[in-house]
């Protein structure tokens, strides 16, 4: 004899209503997220469409309208491979300057931060907490406060107005952040591994190289993305410590936007802004998910 479960019509109606409510809520959330996405992407859409229009179409057409006749002359001018009566110098050499500044600055500050984080997390010595607090304090010092001392130091070292000088500035300013990232990540690595390595005769660098570095890929990604973004997007240090031939792309972009006389070349300005932002945009598109994973990788100890 088989027992059959009885489902009342009223219970079935409640179940159906509950499912419909969940579906309606889900689609409402999707709609809201879509509207927010459109709101935040609208400036990018305007930048791209404006860069593909001629000046006549920009003056007579709508701001949000698609270009009637697509032209890449503004992009050529912004890059520097075309010259008009309005604009003659593009971003090409300054993009290379930013690469020369960002790559060594990221590499050096990340390596030093990894070593510092390793020391503060796993090696105890007198004054460690005070020194770490001083490094953390450096993270919160505004850029403007260090301009004069940094300019004085670069002058003494003979690096004023040079690319190595800008590399030094960004490296020094970034060490506090990279040290914080690596220290918070390395404190989650069990002390037993370090003690076992010491018993086996491993020294300071051997432990770092054999144990910590193989486990450090997530936090290396975080440090590299953070530092690259900070260095590439920096304007204040670039305009303060560079000369005519060593300016980064952000300074060159400002010069392009402010150098036009007469008719404002909005299409060139938009194309130049997109070119200057493309490297950081590509970094986040390619490695954004690893950035989030790296930030949360050291959140739980054990």
Full pLDDT tens readout for the chain, 302 residues: 445 455 556 655 667 767 777 888 889 999 999 999 999 999 989 999 999 998 888 888 787 888 888 889 889 888 975 454 444 567 888 999 999 999 999 999 999 999 999 998 888 788 888 888 888 888 888 888 889 999 999 999 999 989 999 999 999 999 999 999 999 899 888 888 888 888 888 888 888 888 888 888 889 988 999 999 999 999 999 999 988 889 999 999 988 888 765 567 888 999 999 999 999 988 888 877 777 776 666 555 54
Question: Other C-beta atoms within 10 Å of 267: how many?
Answer: 26
**Contact assessment for residue 235 and residue 147, using Cβ atoms and an 8 Å cutoff:** no
Instruction: Residue 137: give the domain boundaries.
Output: 92-297
Residue whose C-alpha is closest to residue 176's, from 144, 142, 119, 136: 136
275 and 187 in one domain? yes
SS3 content of the chain, % helix, strand, coil (to 5): 75, 0, 25
Q: How far is CA 72 from the centre of its chain?
A: 28
Q: Is residue 81 part of a domain?
A: no
Residue whose C-alpha is closest to residue 112's, from 43, 179, 32, 64: 179
Cα–Cα distances (Å) from 25 to 31, 33, 36, 162, 296, in that order, read: 10, 12, 17, 57, 29
230 and 140 in one domain? yes
Domain CATH number, residue 256: 1.10.3720.10
196 and 103 in one domain? yes
Question: Other C-beta atoms within 10 Å of 250: how many?
Answer: 20
32 and 151 in one domain? no
pTM: 0.82
Q: Is residue 250 part of a domain?
A: yes
Q: Is residue 151 part of a domain?
A: yes
How many domains are there within the chain?
2
Could you give the CA distance from residue 218 to residue 203 in angstroms, rounded to a whole number? Answer: 24
Q: Is residue 80 part of a domain?
A: no
Could you give the CA distance from residue 231 to residue 163 in angstroms, rounded to a whole number? Answer: 12
């Amino acid at each position: 004899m088989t027992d059959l479960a009885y489902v009342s019509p009223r219970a079935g109606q409640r179940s159906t209503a509950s499912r419909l409510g969940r579906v309606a809520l889900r689609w409402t959330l999707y709609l809201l997220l879509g509207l927010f996405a459109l709101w935040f992407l609208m400036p990018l859409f305007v930048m791209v469409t404006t860069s593909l229009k001629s000046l006549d179409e920009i003056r007579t057409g709508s701001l949000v309208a698609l270009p009637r006749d697509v032209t890449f002359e503004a992009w050529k001018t912004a890059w520097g491979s075309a010259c008009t009566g309005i604009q003659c110098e593009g971003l090409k050499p300054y993009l290379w300057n930013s690469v020369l500044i960002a790559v060594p600055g990221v590499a050096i500050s990340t390596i030093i931060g990894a070593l510092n984080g390793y020391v503060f997390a796993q090696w105890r010595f007198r004054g460690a907490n005070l020194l770490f607090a001083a490094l953390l304090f450096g993270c919160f010092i505004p850029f403007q406060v260090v301009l004069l001392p940094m300019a004085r130091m670069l002058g003494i070292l003979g690096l004023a107005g040079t690319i190595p000088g800008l590399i030094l500035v960004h490296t020094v300013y970034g060490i506090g952040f990279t040290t914080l990232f690596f220290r918070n990540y390395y404190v989650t690595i069990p002390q037993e591994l370090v003690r076992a390595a010491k018993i086996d005769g491993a020294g300071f660098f051997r432990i770092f190289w054999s144990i910590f570095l193989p486990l450090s890929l997530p936090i290396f990604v975080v440090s590299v993305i953070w530092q690259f973004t900070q260095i590439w997007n920096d304007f204040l240090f670039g305009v303060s410590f560079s000369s005519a031939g060593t300016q980064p792309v952000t300074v060159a972009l400002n010069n392009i936007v402010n150098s036009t006389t007469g008719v404002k070349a909005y299409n060139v300005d938009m194309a130049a802004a997109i070119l200057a932002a493309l490297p950081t945009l590509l970094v986040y598109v390619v490695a954004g998910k690893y950035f989030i994973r790296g930030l949360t990788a050291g959140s739980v100890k054990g």
